[in-house]
Amino acid sequence: MFIRPSEPRDYQQMADILDAIGHDQEAWDYRFDADVKPSFPSWVALDGQRVVGMIEGRFDGDYDERFEQRDHPSPQAWIYLIGVRSGVRRQGIGRALLRFFTEQAVQAGCSFLALLPDQSDDDVPDRVAFFRACGLVPLLDDDPNDVHGAPLPELLPKLT
């Protein structure tokens, strides 16, 4: 398995993964004509030619004031999408994608990473367990399933 930036030839497989997960199709644009550039950078995990996982996010985010990080002024990193094919989960692909994204975020000059675990189905505890196992912590006291994040220098050692 290796990870590289996504290319137009990957978009259909990325869309298939996101479709299977049940992600709202309004939230991503990999099904569009390959000439249309997706809105945010993304990376794919490959097993041969097969896309087995993907991650999408940005390194120029402004955090909402609800979870503003005063010690980490914007721009900071934010993950929109992460997904692994259902047949190959629990093999470390999700963690590897998160580590890759974290390394890219450091190179882009960020010092903090955050994300909102998808709240749209009954699998919230599972995905929160994944993010916690990877070293992210809840940023809001009143809801432990809401936004998670961590300073990158603390996160990276937990992902290696």
Ligand X SMILES: CC(C)(COP(=O)(O)OP(=O)(O)OC[C@H]1O[C@@H](n2cnc3c(N)ncnc32)[C@H](O)[C@@H]1OP(=O)(O)O)[C@@H](O)C(=O)NCCC(=O)NCCS
Q: Which residues bind ligand X (CB under 6 A)?
A: 21, 82-84, 89-95, 117-118, 123, 126-127, 129-130, 133
Q: Which residues have C-beta within 8 Å of that of residue 5, sequence separation ≥ 6?
A: 41, 42, 43, 44
Closest approach of ligand X to the CB of residue 36, in Å: 24
Q: With beta carbons less than 8 A apart as the criterion, state whether 152 and 108 touch.
A: no
Query: Looking at beta carbons only, is 35 or 48 nearer to ligand X?
Result: 48
Nearest to 113 by CA among 81, 138, 144, 150: 150
The smaller minimum CB distance to ligand X, of residues 25 and 36, is found at 25
Report, in Å, the least distance between residue 70 CB and ligand X: 25
Provide φ and ψ at 93, rounded to 5°: -70, -45
Q: What are phi and psi of 84, to 5 degrees?
A: -125, 140
Question: By Cβ distance, which residue is nearest to ligand X?
Answer: 94
Q: Which residues pair with 42 in a beta bridge?
A: 56
Smallest separation, CB 101 to ligand X (Å): 12
34 vs 129, beta carbon nearer ligand X: 129
Between 77 and 84, name the residue whose CB sits nearer to ligand X. 84
Closest distance of CB 129 from ligand X, Å = 3
Which one, 62 or 126, has the nearer CB to ligand X? 126
Cα distance between residue 41 and residue 104, in whole Å? 11
Shortest Å distance, C-beta 90 to ligand X = 4
Q: Which tokens in the block code for residue 102?
A: 């974290």
